[in-house]
Structure 1
Amino acid sequence: MPIIDCRGEDNRVQLVQNFEILPLSHVRLLNGQTKESCAGPTLDREYYVFSYRNYTNPRDTGTFVCGITVANDFINLIQRQNPTVNRLPLFDPLAGFGQVGNLNNTGQTRTGGGRQVPNWNPIAKELYDAIGMICLMWNLDNVGGALESVLLNLVRNPMCIPNDSDIRSVNTIISNHFNMDINNQRIASLALCFQDFMNRHRVPNPPLIQFPNLTAYFNQNVANNWNPAPYFN
């Protein structure tokens, strides 16, 4: 049964008892973007995506969206059962032009009290940010399939280098869906598509965000005959 109502502390307590709930993503919205929270109000600044799986019916799975206050309450409740769960760094392309991969990765930071955000591996953080870009451009409410699987692995192991298969999976999504026409050539590039996306959302002089650690790791360790080139930059 989908989680569509997370209003009220007692309700959230019950949901955490009935479902395995994990934070997946924490994203800032751009101009004109909104999200409907399971707690009621329309969000226009930032939002959290959580995954859920029913303890008694493993096929009852999905994701839901809420704001930062409700998200912090959920994470406090979840940590009582699973202390390894952490708050997530905010993917905010407006806060660190050209340095998204380093946001919230300069030591331990607090995001609303409670357990701190861990110091992410730089490759993992850049892959997390790449998915944040995809979530924004697709305006995703339900983060499922390959993106959900990769995010679950990232948030469970934020200080580790991601699985090569997870990097390839996101790279394939980029190559299939994020292309730009440049000099009469079709070029796959998440960075170029996201720069154009920010421009259309009235971000002045949007930066071309780079993924130096992820790109270098891909070239050295992930590339193969079926996935020969990184499409992040």
Structure 2
Amino acid sequence: MNLNKAVIARPESEVLATNKMLRNTYMLLSMTLLFSALTAGLSMTLNLPHPGMVLTLVGYFGLLFLTTKLRNSAWGLVSIFALTGFMGLTLGPIINQYLHAFTNGDQLVMTALGGTGVIFLGLSAYALTTRKDFSFMGGFLMVGVLVAFLAGLGAIFFTIPALSLAVSAMFILLMAGMILFETSNIVHGGETNYIMATISLYVSIYNLFLSLLQLLGVFGGDD
């Protein structure tokens, strides 16, 4: 009798833990996205210059390392807001560039923002409702992101517009895969730290938005 109760109670406790993990992750994700939007708006209002690729990468990886180290303490929350706030500051000048470079810049930005929201909500809902296990995508996504990142650096250093567009298209697919992978990871208990889960989803949303914006600027922008 006791054994049967234990068998029944264990799945219930796992469901409760998963629901708590999802609730904490999406609440923190919403707060970091709002904070990032606030810092991006501040950057746009003050017309701050973009810090450049080197400083952006140093700031991102430095704050990411710090957040990872502090993920199990309250300071991890401070660190993740520092990370997402910094990324918002780097995003503001990019949005300003599109607003000033294209007569329909505001439409491009809103379309990219709407597209990012639709993709994220759609993929998250699919992973949550079907509860499919997408853990098999982990290795492929890791290699794909590395290849796309190196290709992106090559496109910048050697000024290859076609390669830059290809990288943006790759990142859209890879970030879509990352959203499925991370959401599935949470559902199936592969990720139990909501700070790390939030970082993964935030970075996916950030890169997805930038990639959509770049493609929209090339194919739909009016000079």
Give the alignment's TM-score, normalised by structure 1: 0.25
> Relative contact order (alpha carbons < 8 A, sep ≥ 6): 1 or 2 greater?
2
Give the alignment's TM-score, normalised by structure 2: 0.25
- Structure having the higher helix fraction is 2
Structure showing greater radius of gyration is 2
- Structure having the higher strand fraction is 1
